[in-house]
Amino acid sequence: MEQKFYDVVSNCPVIAAVKDFDGVRQCLKSEVNIVFILFGNICNIGEIVEQVKGADKIAMVHIDLIEGLDNHEIAVDYIRKTTRADGIISTRMNMVNRAKELSLYTVFRIFVLDSRAYQSIEKQRKQIRADFIEILPGVMPRIIQRVCKISSQPVIAGGLIQEKEDVIEALNAGAISVSTTNREVWFM
């Protein structure tokens, strides 16, 4: 299962990140194969995932952003049991670890805002069990290169990706893919 997810991501340079229902409708018209769901609540997340799955795309739920769920592992169990989501995204390692136990795909999201954040990645690199690390913002080629060198997981660059050049720079720096809410980039 992990190899399949890796193969899909490596063949998908752009991942659609959606933050509303209109974004879902628009990304389903694109050729992207993976959708990062960055909105929803416990009442509608199943419907959102079903729309993505109905278009034969991989649905990754950013579990930290789903209203009504908290930061306990039982939230991952809820997503697993009540939706057809393929995996989760989280900034919390306990959530990623629980998702791995439940055989879900995982993305560990890290905000690289200063040198302390980068040092934290170095310290935690052996503890991170996610399939991928997503670093934000994704428009920092030198930082992407550094993280790629120290991480045993492939890196996705996300946040502030606005144009084709941003995608090319992130991929050239070593990112396997980029995630973006910019709809124009989905259709490049």
Q: Is the pLDDT of residue 113 over 90?
A: no
User: How many residues are listed for the chain in this entry?
Assistant: 188
Q: What would the pLDDT profile of 148-184 be if each residue is shown by its tens digit?
A: 999 989 999 999 999 999 999 999 999 999 999 999 9
Structural domain count, the chain: 1
Q: Is 32 exposed, middle or buried (0-12, 13-18, 19+ CB in 10 A)?
A: buried
Tokens 């939706």, residue located: 83
How far is the CA of 25 from the CAs of 21, 48, 183, in angstroms?
A: 6, 10, 11
Mean pLDDT of 122-137: 87
Span 61-70, average pLDDT: 97
Q: What pLDDT is recorded for position 121?
A: 80
| Angle (deg, nearest 10), helices 74-82 and 93-101 | 50
Supply the pLDDT for residue 127: 80
pLDDT band at 120 (very low <50, low <70, confident <90, very high): confident
User: 45: how many CB neighbours lie within 10 A of its CB?
Assistant: 24
User: What CATH number is associated with residue 17?
Assistant: 3.20.20.70
Domain that residue 80 falls in: 2-186
Query: Regarding predicted confidence, which is higher, 40 or 3?
Result: 40
How many CA atoms are closer than 13 Å to the CA of 63, on its beta-carbon side?
Answer: 33
